[in-house]
Chain A
Amino acid sequence: MEELTSTSTPKKGPSVPAIPSVERRMFLRALGLTTVSAAAFLTACQNSMNDVAPKYSGARLSADGVSFGEGDFAILNYAYALEQLETAFYMAVIEKKTFAAGSKEEMIFKDIHDHELIHREFFKLAIPADKRIGDLEFDVSSIDFTNRREVLNTARVLEDTGVAAYNGAGPLISKANSIYLTIAGKIVSVEARHASLISSILQPGGGLFAGDYVVDNNGLEKALTVSEVLGRAGRYIKTAINPASLLALESSKS
């Protein structure tokens, strides 16, 4: 079994006060991963996983919550929401100084932040204002930003989730707007490169970059449903969400 913790380095940056957390460990448990690689990963975390319980799982859902809208706009807003979350996460990593200033890892996370922000601003430009969700609020305080490995693993999970979300949502786009699928395809492969890069930092020289926990025995990466994505990423979304229109679109196509 591959050891996933071979790159730990001493923290050099200024220490950041620990953020109270009741569920950061549960984030890992909630992944629902079942393969050997995931099992190895979870085993490594097991010691700290038995003392907490989830306050809630996934997004805050409410009939009064933010709706993604109808038709293809629901898909675009879904992507926009994920890009907003990713941007907020990477900004927190940089601002909370998980990685030493000027380190290679900090540079990589700055690069990834900038890509996610460009994706976010692209969707903001591309979706007409009257069809577009607003700026979502996020709460990433459950993440221990002083813990380098937790940050790397959270980044990996977010990227894996983003890729699988795009893989799942792509076929929902209407054929009249196939251009959206083409553009989503341009973005998703960049997210997959992020996932690969972060995984290579976590496990240099190993197979985690396209690990068996995300790529099945047919060589296919995961495709996640909206519910699965909200179950994973939604815990960081503070704004209440009403995914009804998106779920209806999804069920109409399945």
Chain B
Amino acid sequence: MNLLGIFSQIEKADPEIGEKMDYSRRKMLKTTSVAAAATPMFFAAMVNKAFAAEGCAGDAIAIVKYALTLEYLERDFYRAGQFKAGLLPAGTRPYVVQIAKHEAQHVDLLEGVLGIKPNAMQPKYNMATLNAALADYPTFLTYAQALEDTGVRAYKGQAACLLEEDTATSRTVLAVALRIHSVEARHAAAVRYMRDLRVWPSGGQNGTEPDPKVYMDEDQGTQGGANLVDFFNMQENKMKLYSPDMSTRSVYESFDEALTAEQVLAIAGPFFAAPM
């Protein structure tokens, strides 16, 4: 896994933040290894729960750098796709251009948050992986979907971290992160639509997957302590649905799950050059 390699690249780009990154790395590695606490029944029981967001990339600044790394990858993936002759069939360009535009805007915005120069933290890519992902149009879409659905899960995974940090910086970053998160979800659905897939992830509905880790633990029947699969297996609840026989899938589709920073970077890792 290239996780540490990515962070050392970032540190090279901006040596002043080494100390902060050490803290982030420790916190991240510590928090991601903690098993999920037993979930109490329903929200009311959680009021006194200790702050325990898991899988944080670190503090708000570290989270921005983490997000920026993913946005660089997305931007440069679409950019390469747009400019590769013959890759995009006629009629698909408006879709791809719209997505690529947003990814570039996200890079600019996050660079602005950090106050760094354009591309100052751009990672070095594993060109073999990147080129393979652009082999042909179906492959391009397969990877686009993986990147978008991973992006959605990545932002979702940092929201609680930012809320709990509760500093002026974290509040600003949270407001921005939530508004990027929903854009990535729109992209993900659009790419899935282009592939003629259901636009909500669930087991068996994700098409060809370049990496099974993208949808790991995505099918969750219980939310906030409420077992919704069981609830909608009860006849009187099931019959409220138009597709009662698909109630379990509908529960899975109704909630997109988060990924920890470590999980996300394990997925994104192969796109980045091995650290020096």
Q: What is the interface of chain A, defined by CB distance below 8 A to chain B?
A: 76, 94, 110-111, 113-115, 117-119, 121-122, 125-128, 131, 163, 166-167, 170-171, 173, 175-183, 185-197, 200, 205-207, 209-210, 215, 217-223
Contacts and interface: CB of A to CB of B under 8 A. Distances in A.
A161 to B, nearest CB: 12
B185 A192 contact: yes
A187 B242 CA distance: 20
A171 B60 CA distance: 14
B105 A173 contact: no
Contacts of B164: 175, 178
A114 B181 contact: no
A121 B236 CA distance: 12
B95 A206 contact: yes
A207 B94 contact: yes
B105 to A, nearest CB: 3
Given A175-B164, A196-B199, 10 more contacts: A121-B237, A171-B174, A178-B163, A186-B256, A189-B152, A192-B183, A192-B185, A209-B98, A210-B183, A210-B190
Interface of B: 42-44, 46-49, 51, 53, 91-92, 94-95, 97-99, 101-106, 108-109, 152, 155-156, 159-160, 163-164, 166, 171, 174-176, 178-190, 193, 198-200, 223-226, 228, 231-232, 237, 240-243, 246-247, 250-251, 253-258
A187 B190 contact: no
Contacts, number: 223
What DSSP secondary structure best describes chain B's contact surface?
helix
Contact of B258 (A76, A94, A186, A200): A186
B91 to A, nearest CB: 5
B182 A221 contact: yes
Given A186-B256, A215-B102, A192 B186 contact: yes
A193 B183 contact: no
30 contacts: A111-B253, A113-B241, A114-B246, A122-B223, A126-B43, A170-B159, A171-B163, A171-B174, A173-B163, A176-B49, A177-B43, A177-B46, A178-B160, A179-B160, A185-B156, A185-B256, A186-B255, A187-B254, A188-B178, A188-B181, A190-B200, A190-B254, A193-B185, A193-B256, A200-B190, A207-B98, A209-B95, A210-B99, A210-B183, A221-B186
